[in-house]
């Protein structure tokens, strides 16, 4: 494939969501393959010292590239952690294939997908869609568990609240978060303040606490912890919340859960739904381990995702979309010979 064709594929890959929109990737393309490398200069040493969430982000970008190639009529094989390259993954072209409607629909969802943190419409997520997501994630050695039982929901909500409390009390965490917040709407990375709902997440009518991106800039409030983990949940917004996880907890498992998450997000977008990750409880070993035991999980939780139908925006402002670095900054092309 020519350089400009790879630029199109990498443009699609970089639409992937990433933790704090750090976009921790760089790509090296040759005529028949593209490698994805972790960009260590964009690390989050406080929030993500092992790089787990950044490697998941790279797994999503890798799979977005596969989807874009399929829609363009290219068959491809993905190898994770190829020997001797230092890459997280390589995608090798295997030859032309007929692009089907499914590939085109998923590729079309790449540009339409955005993290939506506002409360969702009061409309239940169809059970068949959740079944389909479960089947699809299984292809990547990743399980997907809808949090439906009340005691699991209460435990998860409680652990998110505990983690958020720890984060808001940690100046190093707050400084790192603030360094990735952006007020300039043209910013090429980081989380735009306009993409984060105004107001204190504790005040909104939801039992699911979204990450507080502007905690450090607000008057400190008396922290309302979730209290008694056995108390019934309050009557509030109820999105579908799914937990995704893997048997292992190494780079390969993180990449696989990222690839599975890519498919989940594109499938959900294609079905007219929206999503937002809620990963605070997975940021810290203490709350992550407690989630394993409280929910009797097999393996390791990698991603907690809130899913639902978008709010009716007929009269509201258009949502703020996060920026991306130009492809030229993240792609190096090495011509054959």
Ligand X SMILES: Cc1cc2nc3c(=O)[nH]c(=O)nc-3n(C[C@H](O)[C@H](O)[C@H](O)COP(=O)(O)O)c2cc1C
Residues near ligand X (CB under 6 A) are 17-21, 53, 56-57, 114-115, 117, 191, 210-211, 276-280, 322
Question: Cβ contacts of residue 235 below 8 Å, gap of 6+?
Answer: none
Residue 211: DSSP 8-state: -
Radius of gyration, alpha carbons of the chain = 20
Task: Choose between 35 and 212: whose C-beta lies nearer to ligand X.
Answer: 212
Residue 330 · residue 6 · CB < 8 Å = no
* Residue number closest to ligand X, CB atom: 17
- The C-alpha atoms of residue 211 and residue 19 are separated, in whole angstroms, by 12
CB of 276 to ligand X, least distance (A): 5
In angstroms, what is the minimal distance from the CB of 202 to ligand X?
Answer: 15
User: Of the two residues 72 and 278, which places its CB atom closer to ligand X in the complex?
Assistant: 278
CB closer to ligand X out of 159 and 191: 191
Nearer to ligand X, 1 or 62 (CB): 62
- Minimum Å gap between C-beta 40 and ligand X is 17
Q: Shortest gap between Cβ of 3 and ligand X (angstroms)?
A: 25
At its nearest, how many Å lie between ligand X and the CB of residue 21?
4
Whose Cβ is closer to ligand X: residue 42's or residue 117's?
117
Which CB atom, from 19 or from 155, has the smaller least distance to ligand X? 19
Burial of 239 (0-12, 13-18, 19+ CB in 10 A): buried
CB of 196 to ligand X, least distance (A): 7
> Minimum distance between the CB of residue 116 and ligand X, rounded to whole angstroms?
8
Length of the chain equals 337
Question: Which one, 156 or 279, has the nearer CB to ligand X?
Answer: 279
CB of 16 to ligand X, least distance (A): 7
Classify residue 320 as exposed, middle or buried by CB count within 10 Å of its CB (0-12, 13-18, 19+). middle
Strands 331-333 and 25-30 come out as parallel
Residue closer to ligand X (CB basis): 1 or 58: 58
**Secondary structure letter of residue 213 according to DSSP:** T
Provide the CB-side half-sphere exposure for 333 (13 A, CA): 16
**Sign of CA pseudo-dihedral 123, 242, 277, 6:** negative
Handedness of CA 146, 130, 196, 37 (dihedral sign): positive
SS3 annotation, 222-285: CCCCCCCCCCCCCCCECCEEEEEEECCCCHHHHHHHHHHHHHHHHHHHHCCCEEEECCHHHHCH
């Amino acid at each position: 494939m020519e350089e400009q064709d790879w630029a199109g594929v990498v443009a699609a890959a970089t639409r992937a969501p990433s933790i704090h929109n750090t976009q921790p990737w760089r790509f090296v393309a040759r005529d028949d393959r593209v490698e994805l490398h972790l960009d260590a200069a964009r690390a989050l040493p406080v929030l993500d010292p092992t790089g787990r969430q950044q490697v998941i982000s790279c797994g999503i970008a890798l799979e977005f590239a596969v989807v874009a190639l399929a829609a363009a009529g290219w068959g491809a094989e993905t190898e994770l952690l190829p020997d001797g390259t230092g890459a997280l993954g390589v995608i090798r072209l295997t030859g032309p294939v007929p692009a089907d409607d499914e590939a085109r629909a998923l590729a079309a969802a790449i540009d339409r997908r955005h993290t939506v943190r506002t409360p969702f419409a009061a409309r239940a997520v169809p059970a068949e869609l959740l079944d389909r997501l479960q089947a699809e994630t299984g292809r990547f050695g990743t399980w997907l568990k809808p949090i439906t039982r009340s005691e699991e929901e209460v435990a998860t909500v409680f652990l998110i609240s505990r983690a958020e409390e720890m984060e808001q009390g940690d100046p190093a965490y707050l400084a790192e978060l603030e360094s990735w917040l952006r007020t300039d709407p043209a910013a090429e990375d980081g989380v735009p303040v306009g993409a984060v709902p105004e107001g204190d997440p504790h005040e909104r009518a939801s039992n699911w606490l979204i990450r507080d991106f502007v905690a450090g800039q607000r008057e400190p409030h008396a922290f309302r912890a979730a209290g008694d983990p056995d108390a019934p949940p309050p009557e509030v917004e109820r999105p579908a919340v799914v937990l995704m996880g893997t048997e292992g907890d190494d780079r390969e498992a993180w990449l696989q859960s990222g690839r599975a998450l890519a498919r989940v997000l594109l499938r959900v977008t294609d079905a007219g739904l929206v999503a937002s990750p809620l990963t605070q409880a997975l940021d810290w070993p203490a709350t992550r381990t407690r989630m394993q035991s409280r929910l009797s999980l097999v393996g390791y939780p990698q991603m907690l995702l809130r899913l639902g139908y978008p709010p009716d925006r007929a009269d509201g402002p258009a949502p703020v979309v996060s920026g991306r670095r130009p492809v030229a900054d993240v792609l190096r092309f090495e011509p054959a010979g």
